[in-house]
Chains A and B, each alone.
Chain A
Amino acid sequence: MSKPILVLDNVCMYFGGLKAVDNLSFTVNEGEIVGLIGPNGAGKTTVFNCITQFYKEYTGDIYFINNDVKKDLRDIKVTEIINQGLVRTFQNVELIPDLSILDNLLIGAHNQYETGIISHILRTKKAREEEQVLKEKAYEILKFLNIFELKDFYVKGQPYGVMKKIEIARTLMSNPKMIILDEPAAGLNDRETDELENLIYEIKKKFNTTILLIEHDMGFVMNICDRIVAINFGKFLAMDTPKNIQKNKDVQEAYLGSDA
């Protein structure tokens, strides 16, 4: 049996009187690719924000299990989440437009620096070496994603597909155990979507990570995911393999409406 890595247990999240997430429970196992689907406004991104602790006001529990250590994520600050091996991307790409692509990747490695500001000012040998090591790592990831030649260009002005790739590359800089992707294929054309599909497989294999993703492109989700969680109005509908999800009555109803 595969081991669970992320456990959501009766998570509720309210915005005023609105129930954005309603008693949601599901488990993601190590090495899986899990999709989170639901109609617009179903609370998918809210779930992600709860997991990564951007929202702290949820009730219920979210656990992250890394190397058999089970941690309640609520006890961890939003800026410490990345140190647990859990890292995310954003629905609208959140990059630093006026930094080069390479520098954007190095932001992903922010917490791996051991030298402080004084040694950076003095450019000590240790600081330079550390920077070099992380740069090499960034080069490797950029080569892996086929955007190495662009490394010195600003992010501003890059095509959307490249920006999406940079965001994924940035998550890889932090040696993640689990990556949370918020609509990775949104705004991509068919060819780019196919490329992304392969890329996500490759990432899973090469970096040995678990992936949880939100996506509206059903073809993409059905192809790529091992299991799918469907929610509607914050409520859990079903969690199953793509084939069974397609047959599920509740899910069909949520997307297409009921017969009656």
Chain B
Amino acid sequence: MKILNQIENFFGTLSKRLTKHPIVPFLIFGFVIASIGFLPHTGFIRWGTMGIYAYIVIFTVVAMGLNLLLGFSGLISLGTAGFVGAGALGLGVFMNMGIPFEIAALLVLIIAGSIGALIGLFSLKVEGIYLAIATLFVGEILRQIYTQVEIFGGQAIRIGTVRFLGFINLSMINQTQRSFLFLIITILMVLMMIIMHNIVKSKTGRALMAISRSQHAAQAMGISLLKYRLTAFILATLFATFGGIMYGLYFQNVPTTAWTLDLSLFVIAMVVVGGLKSIYGTFLGVFIIHGVPNLWLKNVFGDISYIFSGILIILVIIFYPYGFIYIWYDLKKIYFKYKARWSKKKVTDHE
């Protein structure tokens, strides 16, 4: 009996510690998503839809970056697509020069990060709608560069097989290898989620919220507007560029014309629909904006599916203006209400 108790205690404390640790939910979430990559082998989903799931995973990272900007720091950027393109195309250009994947990725991140810092400096001079316009043209400049400058040449940059970590060749064309590529981008997404979680729960996250909610209080508490606006822009660009690198890694063929304002606006929609300031909400937003129309609605409604996805988004915004993720709190409320009612009933029955 004693031993049994001890074992129970051990598992009790273990499970308590595990469920309490903040990164555990992210790992479980990542595990579930990664399993999608292996489902086509079982015939449960079609190979053709894998790309859509990959796109969702990639744009979750991109949208998280924008969420840091829009949700936490109250700043806006309409140039997100440009930076995703910078990540994907930059990776392609460097890799075609013969630079290994990891080093090319690092180079792209450094370059894009410095451009982000530059925009951050701009953002101190302009506010609100003017900042939106400034970033709009940054995105436009980047788009023009991709389509006009010769090194990005033509319609698309082919990356081809990626030699990952220097010992394993992964190609999009091979089905098993594609599953592994999906696994890798899921791991990267979970990694970025944990990074995001750690940032927003730290001093930096609080400072970002302070500069957007109350500049006076922020300054009186010693939070420099300059420093944290720069931080916000650099982080957002790094997340977007990282998403671009994931795009290059998975799709291995990067179009030069895809990085338009449309895409930037869709990323904003993902953040707003999913949930400002929420990590899972960001994923949910990407799923609603990109996943739902492409996975389901298109099969049912064909070409007019975008009308339905438009209506869906409007409904979500009407009922959940702070993001669809807040449905979770409503569900919780309902659960506790019924639980309370049920336990009351039990008590009265007992009497």
CA A83 – CA B219 in complex, angstroms? Answer: 12
Fill in one digit per residue for B206-243: 1 if any A CB lies within 8 Å of its CB, else 0: 11011001101111111110000001000000000000
Chain B residue contacts of A96, Cβ below 8 A: 206, 209-210, 213-214, 217
A94 touches which of B204, B214, B222, B224 (Cβ 8 Å): B214
User: 12 new A-B pairs (CB below 8 Å) besides A90-B216, A94-B214, A121-B195?
Assistant: A54-B220, A78-B220, A79-B222, A96-B214, A97-B213, A99-B206, A106-B203, A108-B221, A110-B203, A113-B203, A120-B199, A121-B198
A111 at the interface (CB under 8 A from B): yes
A interface with B by C-beta (< 8 Å): 52, 54, 78-83, 87-88, 90, 94-99, 103, 106-108, 110-111, 113, 117, 120-123, 127, 131, 170, 174
CA A218 – CA B202 in complex, angstroms? Answer: 42
Chain A residue contacts of B217, Cβ below 8 A: 90, 94-96, 107
Could you tell me if A98 and B209 are in contact, using CB atoms closer than 8 angstroms? Answer: yes
The distance from the CB of A154 to the nearest CB of chain B, in whole angstroms, is 12
Could you tell me if B209 and A78 are in contact, using CB atoms closer than 8 angstroms? Answer: no
CA A90 – CA B214 in complex, angstroms? Answer: 11
7 shortest interchain CB distances as A-B pairs: A120-B202, A94-B217, A82-B222, A111-B222, A94-B214, A96-B213, A79-B224
Interface of B is mostly: helix
B277 at the interface (CB under 8 A from A): yes
The distance from the CB of B317 to the nearest CB of chain A, in whole angstroms, is 19
CA A174 – CA B216 in complex, angstroms? Answer: 16
B221 touches which of A82, A121, A123 (Cβ 8 Å): A82
9 A-B pairs with C-beta separation under 8 A = A87-B220, A90-B220, A106-B206, A107-B207, A107-B210, A108-B221, A110-B206, A110-B210, A131-B202
- Closest-by-CB residue of A relative to B215 is A94
Chain A residue contacts of B198, Cβ below 8 A: 120-123
**Range class of the B interface residue count:** 20 to 34
CA A96 – CA B207 in complex, angstroms? Answer: 10
The distance from the CB of A113 to the nearest CB of chain B, in whole angstroms, is 5
The distance from the CB of A106 to the nearest CB of chain B, in whole angstroms, is 6
The distance from the CB of B327 to the nearest CB of chain A, in whole angstroms, is 18
The distance from the CB of B214 to the nearest CB of chain A, in whole angstroms, is 4
Chain B residue contacts of A127, Cβ below 8 A: 202
The distance from the CB of B26 to the nearest CB of chain A, in whole angstroms, is 13
CA A83 – CA B207 in complex, angstroms? Answer: 16
CA A95 – CA B209 in complex, angstroms? Answer: 10
Chain B residue contacts of A54, Cβ below 8 A: 216, 219-220
Which residues B253-295 have CB closer than 8 A to chain A? 277
Could you tell me if B221 and A110 are in contact, using CB atoms closer than 8 angstroms? Answer: yes
Could you tell me if B231 and A117 are in contact, using CB atoms closer than 8 angstroms? Answer: yes
Could you tell me if B199 and A117 are in contact, using CB atoms closer than 8 angstroms? Answer: yes
Could you tell me if B222 and A83 are in contact, using CB atoms closer than 8 angstroms? Answer: yes
Chain A residue contacts of B210, Cβ below 8 A: 96, 107, 110
Chain B residue contacts of A113, Cβ below 8 A: 203
Chain A residue contacts of B204, Cβ below 8 A: 117, 120
Could you tell me if B221 and A80 are in contact, using CB atoms closer than 8 angstroms? Answer: no
Q: A82-B222, A94-B217 are in contact. Are A103 and B206 (CB under 8 A)?
A: yes
The distance from the CB of A222 to the nearest CB of chain B, in whole angstroms, is 28
Could you tell me if A110 and B213 are in contact, using CB atoms closer than 8 angstroms? Answer: no
CA A123 – CA B22 in complex, angstroms? Answer: 11
Could you tell me if A82 and B220 are in contact, using CB atoms closer than 8 angstroms? Answer: yes
Chain B residue contacts of A90, Cβ below 8 A: 216-217, 220
Q: A106-B206, A113-B203, A120-B199 are in contact. Are A95 and B214 (CB under 8 A)?
A: yes
A107 touches which of B195, B221, B224, B231 (Cβ 8 Å): B221
Chain A residue contacts of B220, Cβ below 8 A: 52, 54, 78, 81-82, 87-88, 90, 94
The distance from the CB of A1 to the nearest CB of chain B, in whole angstroms, is 31
Chain B residue contacts of A83, Cβ below 8 A: 222
B207 touches which of A94, A97, A110, A122 (Cβ 8 Å): A110
CA A127 – CA B199 in complex, angstroms? Answer: 12
